[in-house]
Structure 1
Amino acid sequence: MDTVAILGGGLSGAIVAWHLARSSAVRIVVVEPRAELGRGLAYGTTDPDHKLNVPEDRMTLDTADLLHFRRWLSSPEAPFLPPGSATLRGEVFAPRGVFGQYVAQTVQPWIASGRITHRRTRALAARREGAGWLVDLEDGGTLSAGRIVLAVAHPAPRVPAALEPLRGDEGLLLDGVDTIAPDERVLIVGSGLTGADVVATLARRGQRGPVWMLSRHGRRSQPHGPRQPETAADYATTPEHTALGLLRRVRRDVARDAQAGLTWHAVFDRLRAQGPQIWAALPHPERARLLRHLRGLWDIHRFRIAPQTEAVLDRQIAAKRVTPLRGRITGARRGPDGIVVEIGAHHLTVDRIVLATGPAHDRALVENPLLAALAAGGAVTADPHGLGIRTTAECRAIAADGRAQDDLLVAGPLARGAVGELMGVPEITAWAERIARALALRGATRAA
């Protein structure tokens, strides 16, 4: 029987495995060191303050069943949600760990039945052998597969050049804040969703020391809007071919919608829905220009903050326990009283620096051993815009010789360079379904 090896069992890998198990008889092996599939980096957290940033009726593992997660929340298998998870208008913003539990429990019956095999180890390398692949595993074993799906985790945040002198210092935190003492002085680098999560966690733990939240432009993730009609804006029928043209068009549409009583959210929801068509119409230089000048604005409007998290952040700022800062770090050193951070002409002394700038997708092929091995063999190449792995719009990895490979597919955000938008659960789910269909179709063709 044809074997599909899914390397990585976080959200992306779990969704591909689940859909493939339901639609094909191929042998499915997921290589993931965690005890449960679907947890991953984002949804493995047990912190109740790390909430989904969209309500429950927009989260699902099946685009044909938009209320799949909502029904599970009402089932006996779901845990009780923390107080305050629901807003006054009835929207539920569950902890991310609860969504991870939903994914794990949805996939588990297929593991129990033997349709999905979960190997609790890591993939270190993969190379072609005959008509298929041979994967080297961290536990010393190997795995033979006809096709591979790369569903590896997000890379760690990039350490800014100005903070390089602190690499390895216990005061520089790239993952987690459990070691921060309540009286310590904390600088959070990044004011997006991750930075807000850090503030919420510290507040719940009774942080007494001062906290500063630094961002280059002083922007914060924007709140959710009201339930409202859809915009008439359309960016797919006659798409723009320049970043500037797109920006001007968005501004016109937002202004027109405002006259009709709509908020800016309607236009940005349309931008998100038509993201692949917008991205496909932009030449590569214009894509680079959009990322360089407009990505920050897009992120704070696209990745909206849960109202509960926003309320905590607002309270902490109002009480002067958190101080927003605008600027960029120009230097840092370990001093006698802590870490001295230079922000322009100003100096700030702190005990801890938390990097909350998001994953450095442009470093994925360097920092991940599996991807580095594949890149060394020419099987994968970096996206030209630093968005991960270069793929086609049909999920296929593009080799160093420019060839699109039918037996090497890429799931999750590392494939976002092909479509422009591939970070949210709806997009990740739709992309995973596309991969599962392609794998099932080819498996059926081989069987015939």
Structure 2
Amino acid sequence: MNRRQQIKLTEGIDWPIMGLYLGIVFVGLLSIFAAEYREGDNIWNDILHLNKNYSRQLMWLGVSAVLATIIWLTDSKFFTATANLMYAGGLLLLLLVLGIGKDVKGSSSWLVIGGFQFQPAELTKLCTNLALAKYLSSIETDFTKLRSRLIAVALALIPCVIIILQSETGLALVYFSFFLVMYREGLPGVLLVIAFSGIVLVLSALLVDKNILFIIFSVITVLVIYFSRREIKRNRSRLALILGIWAFCSVFVMFVVPFAFTKVLKDYQVRRIEVMLGKENDPKATYNTRQSMIAIGSGGFIGKGYLKGTQTRYDFVPEQSTDFIFCTIGEDFGFLGSILFIGLYVALLLRIIFVAERQRSTFSRVYAYGVASIIFFHMAINISMTIGLAPVIGIPLPLVSYGGSSLMTFTMLIFIMLRLDADRQMVLR
């Protein structure tokens, strides 16, 4: 390949995103190696025979590189033309898992192909993002109308429901990230306020006695009615609205939340939430989170040094190359290294948003915002899990945690966005 052909092949690529992608992947490989390497290990033998997670991650990185190359050589129109077909294929895979899925650590969300395990719930994020971008960019879609909004919500939540049936609640929650995309495209902000208020109500119901909450709601309602009495005289419907909110909040915390936690959620899900809230006293239930926090805290400001973390080296932290990979970074590189690492994600998210806003087509913009939202949800929830701010729900850290399904999916998400952006730049020329 001559120099001119090489320039043409890389023409239009967004190098800041490429550099940040490679940087985060490199940190991931170093972290997985640090979590698994022990003195005396034959590194080359482990790599050749795929004996360790870091060697298998290298293999998956190679597969991801092939997929990225194929995507880069594909015309971007292919993704718009096949978006709905990919979505249907993703749903079929999810339904297939319900029938023949393999149970791994309580989650029956895995398909076994040959000697490899594959998690369709990861890939379906990509399919859903494409389908949502296709729908919102359609000429027939008027997103100011309720019908269009309900269809968009259904596109995002149908996979979510199927994944919940597979007992994979963690990945199911990520599908709510698409509401951020819809908000960018015109979904009323009041819905986000309602959703946030619902979370506050749930937490209140778990932390405060329900009878006390009922009294608090009643006092607040009386005060609001008193100070709004002039407006209520002019508009009687305002009184009905205030009383309706009071009734909803009261019923929600006194009946709905207790019912959900006793009849809907499984015991291990309830325990995880109680651990996060500090209400679980069983040492076994809190072990993962406590060890994770000890590991991160022991790193201090500058860390113990690469391959010198005792919590990591002696396997005190469970799942330390997957769900709790951030512990390795925190222990080896300390607070400073952790902040710099999170800075890579922040820079990546800001750059993706910048790329999204410069798109000429609605499809490309919506898709790019979907990529940013998915990465943000994964990053925020995973890191929150490791420091005790969120329940342990098994969400990997993007491009860092060990796992072929996760690495390939995030690689494809990012490179499809890069392909769409590159074609936009070529059209401008």
* Higher Cα radius of gyration: 2
Greater relative contact order, per chain length (Cα 8 Å cut-off, separation 6+): 2
TM > 0.5 between the two? no
TM-score under structure 2 length normalisation: 0.28
TM-score under structure 1 length normalisation: 0.28
Tell me which protein shows more helix as a share of its residues: 2
